[in-house]
């Protein structure tokens, strides 16, 4: 049978962001995949070299909207490590609470999207209704709905009030029961199981060689979770289970997420019960000399911010490695041997976030040694606005 090249993206209904995949297809079966990332490259790593840590924090937050707390937390951790600053314990607990809320809303969002991809619209509505509850609690905690600006270098911006703590303690157990019900639906309902079980299988050792992270690798039975393997903040004090599933298919990857939702509600409730008293922020010197590496378990997997300061007010180099970027070689392996109709389900099972992947604008670079003329956004507007 002859091989056909099928291009999906950069604009495609199955992808929620712009990215291109070139599938080599024989009949209905995918035999090879060539990804082309970079459609959302914004030059953030270069731009970061001109920012102080106060400005850089807000830039880091804008790498990705969904997992913004993970990015700010990671950035702050890296800078604090470079400056050798210890964060007060209360701030650490509050960071954990915000971080877990962020993960909860991200997982519920993905599970809703997955249900919608399969045509299970009722479940999609139910997931998103419950996500709304999480969002409103998150708004009360941080002051913002999506881009929270909660974590700052040296602590957090706002304290939690006793009334809000009581409200969270009251609402989350109810949400727990509802998520338990959805878990039953996901593991039993044929609408979901027939589309996901034995679809996109990949073994754990193969994923390790490809460097996959997060729920993707935990769905193949590998116990890697930074909260456990490299505990940051106060995760070494909080008891929790690392969720792993042995199956290695799309179903397992979705189930890891729903089990994590249950687990993280326990983490939030534990953190609220054991919240220490004290200050919520500490001072950080403006000029820093040193190297710091922030690593956190973002909703999609391990996130890394590596920052190198050489005594200035701006970093010498700032490196960001995001989870979806690490998962791309893995997901390309997953497609092979499955049908074209399974592509959205398999891609959805790694919870792709391409804004994260590409990070980095070409618009602002002055290419001195090359011939290419680059333009600012203003120039482009002036030239092409009234065509």
Partner 1 sequence: MAAKSKVRNVPEKVSRFLEELRKEFKDKILSIKVLTPIRAEVKIARNSHKQIIKWLRDRFAESSYLVTINTVDYIDRGDFELQYEIQLAEDDLKLHLTLKMDIPRANPEVETITDVVPGALLYECENYEMFGVRFIGHPALGKVFLPEDWPDNVYPLRKEVKLIKKVKKVR
Of the pair 161, 229, the CB lying nearest partner 1 is at 229
The pair of structure tokens assigned to 157 is: 């911006």
State how far the Cα of 351 lies from the Cα of 216, in Å rounded to an integer.
9
Among 158, 211, 237, 270, binds partner 1 (CB under 8 A): 211
Among 13, 273, 366, 386, binds partner 1 (CB under 8 A): 366
Dist. CA 355–CA 348, nearest whole Å: 15
Among 12, 18, 38, 187, binds partner 1 (CB under 8 A): 38
Figure out which of the listed residues 46, 158, 167, 339 binds partner 1, where binding follows CB under 8 A: 46
Interactions with partner 1, residue window 314-353 (CB under 8 A): 316-317, 319, 321, 325-326, 328-330
β-bridge partners, 298: 301
End-to-end distance of the chain based on CA atoms, in angstroms? 47
101, 93 Cβ separation under 8 angstroms: no
**Which residue in 371, 384, 385, 386 binds partner 1 (CB under 8 A)?**
371
Kindly list the distances between the CA atom of residue 66 and the CA atoms of 121, 210, 313, in Å, as whole numbers in the listed order. 22, 25, 29
What whole-number distance in Å separates Cα of residue 374 and Cα of residue 370?
Answer: 10
- Point out which span in 130-138, 192-200, 217-225, 248-256 binds partner 1 (CB under 8 A): 217-225
Strand order across the 289-298 sheet: 289-298, 301-310, 317-321
Question: Which phi and psi angles does 166 have, rounded to 5°?
Answer: -65, -40
Question: Taking CB under 8 A as the rule, which mask of x and - marks residues 265-294 in contact with partner 1?
Answer: ----------------------------x-
Q: How far is the CB of 26 from partner 1 (least distance, A)?
A: 22
Q: How many CB atoms lie within 10 A of CB 191?
A: 15
Residues found near partner 1 in the complex (CB under 8 A): 37-38, 41, 43, 45-47, 50, 81, 84-86, 204-205, 208-213, 222-224, 229-230, 293, 295, 302, 304, 306, 308, 316-317, 319, 321, 325-326, 328-330, 358, 360, 362, 364-372, 376, 378
């Amino acid at each position: 049978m002859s091989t056909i090249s099928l291009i999906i993206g950069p604009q495609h209904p199955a992808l929620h962001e712009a990215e291109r995949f070139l599938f080599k297809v024989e009949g209905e079966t995918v035999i090879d995949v060539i990804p082309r990332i970079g459609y959302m490259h914004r030059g953030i790593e270069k731009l970061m070299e001109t920012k102080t840590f106060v400005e850089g924090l807000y830039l880091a937050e804008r790498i990705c909207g969904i997992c913004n707390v993970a990015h700010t937390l990671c950035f702050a951790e890296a800078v604090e490590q470079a400056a050798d600053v210890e964060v007060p314990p209360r701030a650490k607990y509050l960071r954990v609470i915000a971080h877990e809320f962020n993960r909860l809303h991200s997982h519920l969002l993905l599970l809703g999207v997955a249900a919608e991809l399969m045509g299970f619209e009722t479940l999609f509505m139910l997931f998103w209704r419950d996500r709304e509850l999480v969002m409103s609690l998150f708004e009360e905690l941080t002051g913002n709905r999506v881009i929270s600006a909660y974590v700052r270098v040296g602590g957090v911006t706002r304290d939690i009030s006793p009334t809000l703590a009581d409200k969270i303690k009251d609402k989350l157990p109810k949400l727990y029961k509802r998520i338990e019900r959805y878990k039953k639906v996901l593991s039993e309902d044929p609408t979901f199981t027939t589309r996901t079980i034995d679809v996109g299988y990949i073994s754990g050792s193969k994923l390790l060689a490809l460097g996959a992270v997060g729920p993707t690798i935990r769905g193949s039975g590998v116990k890697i979770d930074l909260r456990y393997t490299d505990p940051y903040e106060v995760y070494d004090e909080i008891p929790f289970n690392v969720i792993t599933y042995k199956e290695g298919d799309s179903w397992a990857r979705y189930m890891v997420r729903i089990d994590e939702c249950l687990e993280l509600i326990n983490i939030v409730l534990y953190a609220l019960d054991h919240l220490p008293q004290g200050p919520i922020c500490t001072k950080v010197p403006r000029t820093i000399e040193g190297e710091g590496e922030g690593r956190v378990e973002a909703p999609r997997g391990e996130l890394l911010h590596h920052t190198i300061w050489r005594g200035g007010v701006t970093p010498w180099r700032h490196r960001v490695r995001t989870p979806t970027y690490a998962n791309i070689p893995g997901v390309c392996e997953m497609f092979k041997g499955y049908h074209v109709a399974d592509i959205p389900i398999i891609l959805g099972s790694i919870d792709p976030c391409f804004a994260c992947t590409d990070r980095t604008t070409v618009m602002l670079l002055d290419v001195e040694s090359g011939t290419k003329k680059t333009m600012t956004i203003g120039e482009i507007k002036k030239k092409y606005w009234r065509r």
